[in-house]
């Protein structure tokens, strides 16, 4: 069994990778939003709800859950739009913060 | 032996996280959807499948149903993984044949220890199935004899591992299960004595019930931790979810019984798990059974379980005194409790009080391991 320290490094590497992929997720969200693809939007929000929680970003997870609920409840377009933009802004902000923190350490 | 785990999730990020945690101990493969999962199960034969619920096309519960019903004689253990946590989701997961349930975000220690226990149970059950088949070969009497010992040992390991599984969900520091076992044994002896030489309980019944005791609350694996560990009163809805531990437990034990020799104690364990919250006057749950239609084993456990609960401290209250607990049993004789059983309990109350005092919290490990570990050594050696 690898040491706890080795595992912490491994976890950090996983989080880094997750953050590195954030622009891709944001792009997918934007595309679903601009093409009014609600099925895809719901799916992306659902995935983000699960994965963001798993990687230690409960605020993103909560916002994604809110968006998923709005799409499920068939809320009006502008409400969904606002919620999705908020989610995108949050993803972007958290990713920037993480990258900045990493650079500070290095 | 290399244990194989299949991780199924449509999100690559989540898949990667679970895989890297699990690959520290196990062989891991991934699948991104239900159909792909079924294919991998058929060709790779994983021991455990960690299965996401909501996926496009074939969802997790549908995959679970197919997997449990058609794929193999001994299908893999299925642990459903989901962000949802309502009682209905849980119930649907167990109905589709899932063995356990984890809620995202998942703690890596939680994931590893739960899977470890499931693997232990599965190995023990597989041993039982193999030996049961051997026993049928009457031309091999010598192997048959070893086999019988082997079955008993494996069954106890399975029982213990299952019980531990339920216990890991609660903050148990009290030697709850060991004390319950001793109360029940004392109570059955007292029932024997009061029947003036008739011995209404045979040895087999007594042994089966004693071995069933650790499993009576096994269904609590199906109750979300936030309800299980909630300090104050449960809401009606929360209590409804809590009540399901009786049915979930019976379901798990019935399933286990299918892989064991025909005369297994697991049938008694299932009765106890399902009906230990029934009441003599029919006001209990889950089925509202009344009087002697409640199996005797469950009527016995009902008394000792309530007594143990009252005399143990809980997050929101102190432990009751022995005198108060005694008065409670007395006051509820004939309504909650079977009068014959409750009377036998009250008549041997001094012995019960002695058992209560005998188990100091520090003795918890000794108490449980005494009965299980020596037998486990037999399995490990063969």
Higher pLDDT, B93 or B295: B295
**pLDDT number for residue A101:** 86
**Among B residues 53-82, those touching chain A with beta carbons less than 8 Å apart:** 54, 56
**pLDDT number for residue B138:** 33
Which of A68-72, A95-99, B222-226, B357-361 is least confident?
B357-361
What is the mean pLDDT of the segment spanning A86-106?
A: 90
State yes or no: pLDDT of A40 exceeds 80: yes
For residue B171, how many other CB atoms are within 10 A of its CB? Answer: 10
Share of chain B above pLDDT 70, in %: 76
Cβ contacts (< 8 Å) between A49 and chain B: which residues? Answer: 83
Place of tokens 């058609």: B70
The Cα–Cα gap between B52 and B50 comes to: 7
Average pLDDT, chain B: 79
Higher pLDDT, B194 or B158: B194
What is the mean pLDDT of the segment spanning B159-166?
A: 60
Three-state SS for B60-91 is HHHHHHHHHHHHCCCCCEEEEEECCCCHHHHH
State yes or no: pLDDT of B196 exceeds 80: no
Which of B35-39, B49-53, B136-140 is least confident?
B136-140
Contact B24 A47 (CB under 8 A): no
Q: Are strands B4-8 and B77-82 parallel, antiparallel or unpaired?
A: unpaired
State yes or no: pLDDT of B117 exceeds 80: yes
Alpha-helical (H) ranges within B82-167 are 87-95, 108-136, 141-167
**Whether the bond into B105 is cis, omega within 30 of 0:** yes
Nearest Cα to B252, choosing from B322, B165, B187? B165
**Among B residues 97-126, those touching chain A with beta carbons less than 8 Å apart:** 104-106
Cβ contacts (< 8 Å) between B104 and chain A: which residues? Answer: 50, 53-54
The Cα–Cα gap between B97 and A44 comes to: 28
State yes or no: pLDDT of A46 exceeds 90: yes
* Tokens at B357, concatenated: 């005092």
DSSP-assigned beta bridge partners for residue B31: B8
pLDDT in tens, B307-324: 999 998 877 788 999 999
Task: State how far residue A29 is from chain B, nearest Cα, in angstroms.
Answer: 14
State yes or no: pLDDT of B232 exceeds 90: no
* CB of B25 less than 8 A from some CB of A: yes
Q: How confident is the model at residue B299 (pLDDT cuts 50, 70, 90)?
A: very high
Q: Across the interface, which of B17, B24, B83 has its CB nearest the CB of A49?
A: B83
Q: Are strands B27-31 and B48-52 parallel, antiparallel or unpaired?
A: unpaired
Q: Across the interface, which of A10, A14, A50 has its CB nearest the CB of B11?
A: A50
Contact A47 B56 (CB under 8 A): no
Classified as helix, coil or strand, B283 is coil
Sequence-separated (6 or more) residues with CB below 8 Å from residue B259? B74, B125, B126, B128, B129
């Amino acid at each position: 069994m690898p040491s706890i320290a080795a595992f912490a490094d491994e976890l950090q590497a996983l989080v880094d990778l997750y953050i590195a992929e954030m622009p891709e997720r944001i792009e997918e969200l934007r595309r679903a939003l601009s093409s009014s693809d609600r099925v895809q939007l719901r799916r992306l929000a659902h995935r983000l709800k699960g994965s963001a929680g798993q990687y230690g970003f409960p605020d993103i997870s909560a916002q994604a859950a809110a968006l998923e609920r709005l799409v499920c409840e068939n809320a009006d377009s502008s409400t969904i739009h606002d919620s999705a933009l908020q989610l995108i802004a949050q993803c972007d902000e958290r990713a920037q913060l993480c990258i900045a923190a990493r650079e500070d350490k290095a | 032996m290399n244990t194989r785990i299949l991780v199924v999730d449509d999100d690559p990020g989540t898949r990667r996280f679970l895989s890297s945690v699990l690959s520290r101990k196990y062989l891991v493969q991934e699948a991104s959807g239900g159909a792909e999962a079924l294919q991998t199960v058929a060709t790779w034969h994983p021991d455990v499948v960690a299965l996401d619920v909501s996926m496009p096309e074939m969802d997790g519960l549908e995959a679970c149903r197919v997997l449990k019903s058609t794929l193999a004689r001994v299908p893999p253990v299925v642990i459903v993984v989901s962000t949802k946590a309502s009682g209905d989701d849980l119930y649907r997961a167990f109905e589709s044949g899932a063995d356990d349930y984890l809620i995202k975000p998942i703690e890596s220690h939680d994931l590893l220890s739960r899977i470890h226990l499931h693997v232990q149970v599965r190995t023990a059950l597989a041993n039982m199935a193999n030996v049961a088949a051997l026993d049928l070969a009457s031309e091999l009497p010598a192997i048959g004899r070893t086999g019988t010992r082997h079955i008993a040992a494996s069954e106890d390991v399975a029982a213990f591992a299952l019980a531990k599984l339920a216990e890991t969900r609660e903050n148990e520091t009290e030697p709850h299960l060991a004390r319950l076992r001793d109360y029940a044994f004392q109570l059955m002896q007292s029932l024997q004595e009061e029947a003036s030489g008739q011995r209404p309980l045979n040895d087999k019944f007594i042994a089966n019930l004693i071995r069933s005791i650790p499993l009576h609350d096994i269904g609590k694996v199906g109750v979300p931790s936030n309800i299980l560990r909630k300090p104050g009163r449960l809401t009606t809805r929360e209590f409804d979810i809590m009540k399901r531990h009786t049915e979930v437990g019976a379901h798990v034990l019935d399933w286990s019984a299918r892989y064991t020799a025909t005369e297994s104690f697991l049938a008694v364990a299932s009765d106890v798990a399902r009906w230990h919250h029934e009441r003599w006057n029919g006001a209990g749950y889950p089925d509202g059974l009344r009087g002697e239609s409640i199996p005797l084993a469950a009527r016995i456990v009902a008394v000792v379980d309530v007594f143990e609960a009252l005399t143990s401290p809980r997050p929101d209250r102190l432990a009751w005194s022995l005198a108060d607990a005694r008065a409670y049993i007395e006051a509820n004789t004939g309504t909650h409790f079977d009068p014959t059983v409750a009377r036998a309990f009250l008549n041997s109350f001094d012995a019960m009080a002695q058992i209560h005092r005998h188990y100091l919290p520090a003795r918890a490990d000794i108490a449980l391991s005494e009965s299980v570990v020596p037998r486990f050594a037999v399995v490990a050696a063969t």
